[in-house]
Amino acid sequence: MEQQCPRCRLINPPEAVRCDCGWDFLAGNGAAARFSRSKSIADQAKASWVCPLVAWLSQFMIAMNMTGMRGLGLFLLAAALVQLVLLVVGLVLGIKIVTMDHTLVRPTDRKSAWAGVIFSGGTMALILAMFIAAMVG
């Protein structure tokens, strides 16, 4: 009998052990897979707010150490790029989890994913607002 992947809904041949998306059909029914899956969701939920937090902390460190230094243009540009990537990762991970089927995500993980979405998205909105303010002013 053909089996449908519970994760990506792809129809797999009966003999398939693993779906293209990585879902393990053998372990998929077992508690072990559920545990590792919920653990990976928990990790991603945590990363969704840790990423913007790291971006903020690095910005504070730079701001505190920046006074009096010269020739930092390239370093600041690189730091800004890394921070942007962290914010995007936080936002994407958070959105991915909050839009996931609620039976797959524990309430605590959903809450921390929401925190990540608000934190990352809010920071990006702030940067955009500052950028626009700088352009106008």
Q: Which is nearer to Zn ion, 38 or 58 (CB)?
A: 38
Q: How far is the CB of 116 from Zn ion (least distance, A)?
A: 25
**CA pair distance 102, 5, nearest whole angstrom:** 17
Q: How far is the CB of 90 from Zn ion (least distance, A)?
A: 25
Q: Which is nearer to Zn ion, 3 or 58 (CB)?
A: 3
**CA pair distance 47, 85, nearest whole angstrom:** 13
Q: Amino acid identity of 54? A: V
Q: How far is the CB of 22 from Zn ion (least distance, A)?
A: 7
Site of interaction with Zn ion (CB under 5 A)? 5, 7-8, 10, 19, 21, 23
Q: Which is nearer to Zn ion, 19 or 47 (CB)?
A: 19
